[in-house]
Amino acid sequence: MATQRPTKSIDNPGSGAAAAKAPRGTRVRPVPAVSRSIAILRLLGDTRQPMGVKAIADALELIPSTCLHILRVLVSEGLVTVDPSTKRYALGSGMISLARSVLGGGSFAQLVQPALDRLASHSGVTAMGVEVTGVQSAVVLALSRSDQPFRFHTDVGSQFNSLVSATGRLIAAHNGETWAQLRKRFEKIEWDNAPSFDQWKSEVEQAKALGWSVDRDHFINGMTAVAVPMIGPSGRMTHTLAAVGLSSHLDLTAVNALAARMLQEARQLSGALL
């Protein structure tokens, strides 16, 4: 039996690109049609069921006629489908082609998979390759599940608030935000067992010093997560390796051993990705 966890964004960027955060030093000019199109795709992905024009427009606070015009373009590109009888819209198979472009030949997902399989098999954890995105979220690009009867469950493509769990502590340690900025974002996080901000801040500082991070029973009660950073050629953390297992199976000694193994895998992968 797997421990279930929502696969949509916990701090949902939902109503569109207003939540997107541009890289430092980059000026992003608003392009409403693009922002609205992305918002519609995200909404349809999050709801996982067909929706009518009015429901989509209401959810995103769009003018229905504007929403309809955007949907027609998305349908013509194969990114969205429409049922002629119900006039309801859903994600189309064109999204699969886009996803394959990300996950295909020579991608991070392909390169990281053997390492994830080794970690899952050796340590009895769910191992994940996570991308740090520019929309205040982290995305699971690859994963490997252990054969343990009780385990953390997620899916490729799942998005999480970029500050939660062990990966979140690494992102906070590396992204250059001030503590005041981080506090505002921290207050929006949903946890099973929320730490205080001071405790979380201390764990972020510890992650910076150790080079890896841990979340024990906070993001999901009864589960421990370990994460190690992967640094790109620019010196920026672009991905993490993350592993989640039962806290009852991961005492301090096991966590330290798992982190050491993950750091070794990350060093080898970083060389391959350069």
pLDDT for 106 equals 53
Between 22 and 120, name the one with better pLDDT.
Answer: 120
- Among 52-61, 95-104, 187-196, name the most confident range: 52-61
pLDDT-based confidence at residue 271 (cuts at 50, 70, 90): low
Q: Write the CATH number of the domain with boundaries 31-94.
A: 1.10.10.10
Does 252 have pLDDT greater than 90? yes
**Average pLDDT in the 200-218 region?**
95
Does 9 have pLDDT greater than 90? no
Three-class DSSP labels, 39-106: HHHHHHHHHCCCEEHHHHHHHHCCCHHHHHHHHHHHHHCCCEEEECCCCEEEECCHHHHHHHHHHCCC
Query: Across the chain, what does the average pLDDT equal?
Result: 84
pLDDT for 241 equals 95
**Average pLDDT in the 238-243 region?**
92
pLDDT for 53 equals 96
pTM value surpassing 0.85: no
**Average pLDDT in the 71-100 region?**
88
pLDDT-based confidence at residue 260 (cuts at 50, 70, 90): very high
Which residue, among 166, 174, 169, has the nearest Cα to 259 in the 3D structure?
166
Q: How far apart are CA 8 and CA 11, in angstroms?
A: 9
pLDDT for 48 equals 79
- Strands 151-152, 2-3: pairing is parallel
Share of the chain above pLDDT 70, in %: 83
Q: How far apart are CA 151 and CA 126, in angstroms?
A: 7
pLDDT for 14 equals 37
Determine how many CB atoms are found less than 10 A away from the CB of residue 71: 21
pLDDT tens-digit readout, 30-50: 788 899 999 999 899 888 789
**Cβ contact 181:162 at 8 Å:** no
104-273 and 31-94 share a CATH fold: no
**Cβ contact 41:91 at 8 Å:** yes
- Token readout for 118 is 């080794």
Q: Under CATH, which architecture does the 104-273 domain have?
A: 2-Layer Sandwich (3.30)
**Average pLDDT in the 52-75 region?**
95
Domain map (residue ranges) of the chain:
31-94, 104-273
**DSSP reduced 3-state for 36:** helix
Does 11 have pLDDT greater than 60? no
